[in-house]
Structure 1
């Protein structure tokens, strides 16, 4: 029970990687607040967790909107008295070649992936500083190394890594650790529904030292390490969950 008596916020936690992170934290004793823009999915996930006896709560929000982020943070503090862990997981992709990428596609991806991480970190950090303790884990992506058709996503995730390193140096004196997890190809429902899923799996097995697609559990395990006191002397670091694929 690594997270007994801990309060955690997981953004984008209604499905996929975020849902698995929330599930694992709950099984280890945490109170988890799931914040997701998809209200219906958020409520369904919370219902599923609560039926299993977990202390899970829904606080839907658009991570790119300051007032909504502030509301989630303030309600969490008021209801539970503290915030020990923040996992900035919310993200999305809108892929296109640079010559065909619309400004809206750029703005939307950067706003959710980067601005959302900034806003939650900003308002959660205020509480963590006052309690002289906290863990912030940002979900980046192997895509920060660059992928064709993902100029917006690669730029946003590179920004997440810069944010991670800056905050680690700024907040360390307050006993706050800030780290990032950079997943590679992870099998989520969205990936399984991709029309070229089997071909994508073949290419991953060919190009990766570990011959399989990653699981949401692989990512969650890395996040839980950074969120726990086992990583108390690690900050500003990046843990790649890619099966060894970096190129």
Structure 2
């Protein structure tokens, strides 16, 4: 990342109020970016903004439904007005509506596709114009090991697999303009979302993570900071020859 070009110093992270998004926003702030912290509820972004500002960084909370085209455009316009043109976009926003296929409703399927995949498309569309103008940009999409298939997640798995295809297509289309597009695919990460899954299963989070850890070669589950490190790499100046790639951060081989 260039220390002399302010046009490369603004990052947008969606779904950044907590978990992987919050850790990623904080890491990019430490890397020198001013960070726009996007989430559905602007007030929920306050803790992430506070962490960044306490560490000497600059952050902006933006309430935005990324699946809504008008809100996505308006959110990016707010970033441009307050921080400057976005040079890095991290599409992390997501929800889960798990169910087996015979129980899953069309609404549950559409909701997950809408936030993960449609939202990433809309945010990339809104941000890429600024990156193309600057002849420099980084788009980083958050996929998942579930893209390889996962019981009870036909909606989530489809969305995460779609994000990998979107990543590769953006790399082809935007590469000539100095914009890279890459994908991080986490394995099991200890977050509020995975804790909620344990609760639905009626077991403690410690028992839930312990079960998974035994099946992971490094014998532990991941932390949000593990994912933030990978995003930090893709956002760097030095990663300019890496594009269209999917990096599984899962404690062992995937893909």
Once the 2 structures are TM-superposed, how far is the Cα of residue 43 of structure 1 from its aligned partner?
2.5
Q: 1:31 to 1:3 in 2, by over 3 A?
A: farther
SS at match of 1:243: coil
Matching of residues 115-126 of structure 1 within 5 Å: 115-126=118-129
TM-score of the superposed pair, with normalisation by structure 1: 0.95
1:73-113 CA-partner distances (Å, limit 9, x unpaired): 11222333321100000011110000000111001000000
1:199-237 CA-partner distances (Å, limit 9, x unpaired): 332332222111000011100000000011121100000
Moved more, 196-205 or 125-134: 196-205
| Kept after mapping to 1: 8 A contact 2:19/2:192 | yes
Which residue of the partner structure matches residue 212 of structure 1? 220
Q: 1:14 aligns with which of 13, 17, 21?
A: 17
Which residue of the partner structure matches residue 42 of structure 1? 45
Matching of residues 51-70 of structure 1 within 5 Å: 51-70=54-73
SS at match of 1:70: helix
| Kept after mapping to 2: 8 A contact 1:144/1:155 | yes
TM-score of the superposed pair, with normalisation by structure 2: 0.92
Which residue of the partner structure matches residue 233 of structure 1? 241
Unaligned runs of 5+ in 1: none
1:36-76 CA-partner distances (Å, limit 9, x unpaired): 00222113332343234320111110010011100111122
Are 1:79 and 2:82 matched, yes or no? yes
Q: 1:3 to 1:205 in 2, by over 3 A?
A: farther
| Kept after mapping to 2: 8 A contact 1:109/1:156 | yes
SS at match of 2:57: coil
Are 1:171 and 2:179 matched, yes or no? no
Which residue of the partner structure matches residue 109 of structure 1? 112
Which residue of the partner structure matches residue 191 of structure 1? 194
| Kept after mapping to 1: 8 A contact 2:39/2:62 | yes
Unaligned runs of 5+ in 2: none
| Kept after mapping to 1: 8 A contact 2:214/2:220 | no
1:134-162 CA-partner distances (Å, limit 9, x unpaired): 00000000000000100000000011001
Q: 1:81 to 1:39 in 2, by over 3 A?
A: closer
1: distance between equivalents of 2:50 and 2:216? 37
Q: 1:198 to 1:80 in 2, by over 3 A?
A: closer
Residue-pair matches, total: 246
1:139-197 CA-partner distances (Å, limit 9, x unpaired): 00000000010000000001100100001001000010000000000011333453332
Moved more, 69-78 or 220-229: 69-78
